[in-house]
Amino acid sequence: MGRKVLVTGGTGYIGSHTVVELQSVGFEVVIIDDLSNSSADVVDHIEKISGIRPAFEAFNLLDTDRLDAFFEQYAGIEAIIHFAAFKAVGESVEQPLAYYRNNLVSLMNILDCMSKYKVPNLVFSSSCTVYGQPDQLPVTENTPKKEAESPYGNTKAISEEVLRDVVKVNPDFKVIALRYFNPIGAHPSSLIGELPRGVPNNLVPFITQTAAGIRQQLSVFGDDYDTPDGSCIRDYINVVDLAKAHVVAINRLINNANSERYEFFNVGTGNGASVLEVVNTFEKATGVKLNYKIVARRPGDIEKIYADTTIANTVLGWKAETSLSDTLLSAWNWEKRIRNIN
């Protein structure tokens, strides 16, 4: 087996897709996940796709005894991709302490283990929420960070500061933070995908569940924004393209190709799409008519954001390749498979 990589949160949405891409290029993957927002059968589905069953340990990263036991058992880990975090924006507003404790202390425990067990390389799952509502578009990596819109977004902004400061005093550490825009879609096999618990907060799973008849109607949160059709604009990135960005980042660190010991990159498509454009593209791609209505704005939503991907394309050497239409079709194929719809 190839070089060993730990993926925390590896049974989650982006984590599972990243595990598959790492395995496809020969990495040996070990997963830690507390299954608070995913299920263990994702490991079976990863094995079905790649033919390789990743090692999997189920515990929360706040449990430092389990973490020490893990690193004693799995020697030789060369890099960590850290996805494990609570990520529901609305929930973070209601439970800020749970979000700060889980997301920040988990990261600090991982950093302690990197020192203790001599693991030099870390790829961190960050988010475009660190930009808030940018004054200028598209956002580059130098666009000033703004007050986070939620405790969730603030945990990402604080985590980046922690990483920057910790790297300074740990000369062996090399860290890349990937600032995701809006991850959507599913693996072409339809064996893994996004499976939100309860009523989906995010747009695309709500669309596919409406198309599947699980939700009666999609609410479009506002069409009175300063955008061409009045609905909010986001940069929707295919989850497999996003997973591939993590493989590129891990290789960059392992091969010492990084130019700074703490780097961060915008991982988006560079294209903005409005909510209504997503709805129309979904209908065209799938042939399914969506039942939706325009309702009031959702508190906390920013009006528009999309990435300038020049640095990711030229420095990191990664570019998103999948169209919005194909990505929405992959999301629909996934929804049909898990709901047994032909």
Q: Which residues are catalytic?
A: 152
> Counting contacts by CB under 6 A, is residue 89 touching ligand WQD?
yes
Site string for ligand WQD, 240-279 (x = CB under 6 A): -----------------------------------x----
Min dist CB 219 to ligand WQD, Å, is 5
Find all residues with CB under 8 Å of 340, minimum gap 6, and list them.
Answer: none
Query: Minimum distance from CB of 156 to ligand WQD (Å)?
Result: 8
* Least distance (Å) between residue 186 CB and ligand WQD: 15
- Report the C-alpha gap between 335 and 342 in whole angstroms: 10
Alpha helices in the chain (DSSP H): 13-24, 41-50, 64-73, 89-94, 96-100, 106-116, 151-168, 203-211, 239-254, 275-286, 310-311, 324-338
Stretch near ligand WQD under the rule CB under 6 A, chosen from 31-39, 95-103, 105-113, 217-225: 217-225
Contact positions with ligand WQD (CB under 6 A) in 2-61: none
Three-class SS of residue 15? helix
Please work out the total of residues on this chain that contact ligand WQD, with binding judged by CB under 6 A: 19
Which range touches ligand WQD (CB under 6 A), out of 75-83, 186-194, 195-203, 238-246? 195-203
- Please report how close the Cβ of residue 291 comes to ligand WQD at its closest, in angstroms: 12
Residue with Cβ nearer ligand WQD (43 or 273): 273
Residues 6+ away with beta carbon under 8 Å from 314: none
Identity of residue 189: S
Q: CA torsion sign, 269 to 275 to 278 to 280?
A: negative
Q: Is 232 in the site for ligand WQD (CB under 6 A)?
A: yes
Q: Which of residues 281-340 bind ligand WQD (CB under 6 A)?
A: 298, 301
255-291 burial by CB neighbour count: b if 16+ within 10 A, else e?
Answer: eeebeebbbbbbbbbbbbbbbbbbbebbbebbeeebe
Q: Which of 8, 11, 16, 129 binds ligand WQD (CB under 6 A)?
A: 129
- C-beta neighbour count of 325 within 10 angstroms: 13
d(CA 67, CA 38) in angstroms, rounded, equals 20
Pick the binder of ligand WQD from 18, 106, 127, 309 (CB under 6 A).
127
> Which residues in this chain contact ligand WQD in the complex, by CB under 6 A?
87, 89, 127, 129, 180, 182, 201-203, 206, 218-221, 232, 234, 275, 298, 301
